[in-house]
Amino acid sequence: MQCPRDGRKLETRTIEGVDIDACPHCDGLFLDQGELAAIEKAYHEHASPPPAAPDPVDAAMDMARQSRRAGAICPKCQLQMSPHEYAYASQIVVDGCGECGGTWLDVGELERIEDFFERERAEQPQGSVLAGLLQRLGLR
């Protein structure tokens, strides 16, 4: 598979025990459907205290900039991926493939996702990220 950002051949890299495809040049990551969830699960088993929240203005500006970029071409099925916010109120824009369910993460986005979920988990008395997201959506 080829990197959708610079066309280089993707290589296998293991993160939190999950084999993913990574670009050796731009450090972007392609994760097949379910791999990001597996990384998050493994990460939370030994996570450290949550980092400070990013400046909200900087985060909003970064999200607007990312939303304007063209979606990547899926390395797996060669279709246009769609930029979208990763999770409710995360302000992290990732590229998702509607065909195979894969996700392209540019350099630093995996770390920002992990930081987001650590902060969400710390805000919940039981440590339930899902409960917090459901509450914010008014579903609980």
Gap between the Cα atoms of 47 and 8, Å rounded: 32
Token look-up 């509450």 returns: 135
- Nearest-CA neighbor of 12 among 3, 23, 28, 26? 23
Per-residue model confidence (pLDDT) at position 21: 97
Per-residue model confidence (pLDDT) at position 133: 58
Residues (pLDDT < 50) of the chain are: 127, 140
List the alpha helices (DSSP H) in the chain: 35-44, 56-68, 109-123, 129-136
